[in-house]
């Protein structure tokens, strides 16, 4: 555990050194949030969102790309140097396959998110080739998630769900669509939550600290090494992402981190704990989903605006208050999830 904490400090230091020059580069290439009339997935205008977030125009996006790059490089170096660092390499699964799945998820969903960031920032959506509709991007998420779920099932042999008080449930082949759903759900949940300064990144740190405790308790150094590096990078990023934000994760970070958070929970064999520990992400995506379904099926809204953090903002809550209270709620949900996991 001491060595893992050292890796947290290492990734924190590296991101801290690189982030300011990276922000300057983003300004230079104008990779910033653009003034635009946003629309939901049904191509309906969202003027309330535009009004509440008008002051964020010009803030650089794509901070997740730096985190993905640094964590991937450090992880590949660390996982091969673990024996020389005095860490006994222990894992539940074949460590090379576990590494492949983590890195593939991290990078593939990151690339999908990078496409969206490029499209929004540089106006590629105006052209026929780049202007893919939401349904096709959603399909791409499902294709990637199904492939990752199949890797978990076939390469690592995971087909169970540990449900507290109901023992272990063996899903067999149904594990693949179940795991794919979890991955897609959390990828979009983190993406939806990345709307207020420091919200998504802070919630992620809290979730990952809980996962680090869980992975360390089962001596899975392959996963705990990755999570430790990821935590350090996110804490450094949070310094520049809290209100008023100097940089955003962007879709490149939000989609990647959400999907990888889900995979981490699946590797631990506790997706129910994932839903509790990541409870605020569940609240965020659920409020958006209910709103969209209501608009589609009933022709009217449930909330004035969604997700819930935007609704609170509309009600007059200061942005910093919403974020800090969401963090506190996430801390208690993480404690509850850990308690149920070890109960």
- Confidence category of residue 46, pLDDT binned at 50, 70, 90: low
What is the count of structural domains for the chain? 1
Whether the per-residue pLDDT at 128 is higher than 70: the answer is: no
Q: What is the pLDDT of residues 164-221, one digit of tens each?
A: 666 778 889 999 999 999 999 999 999 999 989 999 999 999 999 999 999 988 878 8
In the structure encoding, which two tokens stand for residue 316, read together? 């007059």
- Confidence category of residue 130, pLDDT binned at 50, 70, 90: very low
Q: How confident is the model at residue 87, as a pLDDT?
A: 64
Q: What is the pLDDT of residues 139-155, one digit of tens each?
A: 999 999 999 999 999 99
Beta bridge partners of 60: 32
Q: How confident is the model at residue 207, as a pLDDT?
A: 97
Q: How confident is the model at residue 275, as a pLDDT?
A: 94
Q: What is the pLDDT of residues 270-316, one digit of tens each?
A: 888 899 999 999 999 999 999 888 877 777 788 788 889 989 998 88
191 is in an annotated binding site: yes
For the ranges 82-96, 160-174, 248-262, the one whose mean pLDDT is highest: 248-262
Distance, in Å, from the CA atom of 69 to the CA atom of 237, rounded to the nearest integer, reads 13
Contacts of 339 (CB under 8 A, 6+ apart): none
pTM above 0.75, yes or no: yes
Nearest to 260 by CA among 65, 82, 105, 56: 105
Distance, in Å, from the CA atom of 157 to the CA atom of 135, rounded to the nearest integer, reads 31
Does an H or E element contain 13, and which?
Answer: helix 2-28
Q: How confident is the model at residue 48, as a pLDDT?
A: 65
Q: How confident is the model at residue 30, as a pLDDT?
A: 84
Does an H or E element contain 169, and which?
Answer: strand 168-170
Q: Is 318 exposed, middle or buried (0-12, 13-18, 19+ CB in 10 A)?
A: exposed
Distance, in Å, from the CA atom of 284 to the CA atom of 310, rounded to the nearest integer, reads 10
Whether the per-residue pLDDT at 40 is higher than 60: the answer is: no
Residue-number span of the structural domain to which 51 is assigned: 2-342
């Amino acid at each position: 555990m001491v060595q893992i904490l050292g890796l947290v400090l290492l990734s924190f230091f590296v991101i801290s050194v690189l982030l300011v020059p990276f922000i300057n580069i983003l300004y230079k290439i104008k990779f910033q949030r653009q003034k635009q009339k946003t629309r939901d997935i049904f191509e309906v205008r969202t003027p309330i969102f535009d009004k509440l977030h008008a002051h964020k125009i010009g803030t650089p996006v794509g901070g997740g790309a730096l985190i993905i790059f640094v964590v991937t490089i450090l992880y590949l170096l660390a996982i091969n140097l673990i024996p020389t660092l005095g860490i006994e390499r222990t894992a539940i699964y074949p460590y090379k396959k576990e590494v492949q799945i983590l890195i593939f998820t991290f990078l593939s969903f990151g690339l999908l998110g990078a496409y969206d960031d490029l499209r929004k920032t540089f106006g590629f959506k105006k052209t026929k080739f780049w202007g893919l509709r939401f349904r096709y991007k959603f399909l791409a998420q499902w294709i990637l998630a199904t492939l990752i779920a199949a890797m978990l099932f076939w390469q690592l042999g995971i087909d169970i769900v540990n449900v507290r008080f109901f023992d272990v449930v063996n899903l067999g082949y149904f594990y693949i669509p179940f795991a794919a759903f979890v991955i897609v759900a959390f990828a979009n949940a983190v993406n939806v939550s990345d709307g207020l300064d420091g919200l998504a990144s802070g919630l992620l740190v809290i979730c990952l600290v809980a996962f680090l405790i869980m992975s360390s308790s089962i001596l899975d150094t392959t996963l705990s090494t990755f999570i430790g590096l990821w935590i350090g990078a996110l804490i450094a990023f949070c310094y520049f992402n809290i209100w008023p934000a100097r940089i955003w994760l962007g879709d490149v970070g939000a989609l990647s981190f959400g999907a990888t958070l889900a995979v981490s929970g699946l590797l631990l064999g506790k997706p129910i704990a994932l839903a509790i520990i990541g409870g605020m992400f569940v609240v965020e995506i659920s409020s958006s989903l209910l709103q969209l379904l209501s608009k589609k099926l009933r022709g009217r809204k449930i909330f004035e605006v969604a997700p819930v953090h935007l609704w609170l903002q509309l009600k007059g809550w200061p942005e910093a208050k919403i974020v800090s209270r969401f963090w506190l709620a996430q801390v208690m949900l993480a404690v509850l999830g850990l308690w149920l996991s070890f109960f």
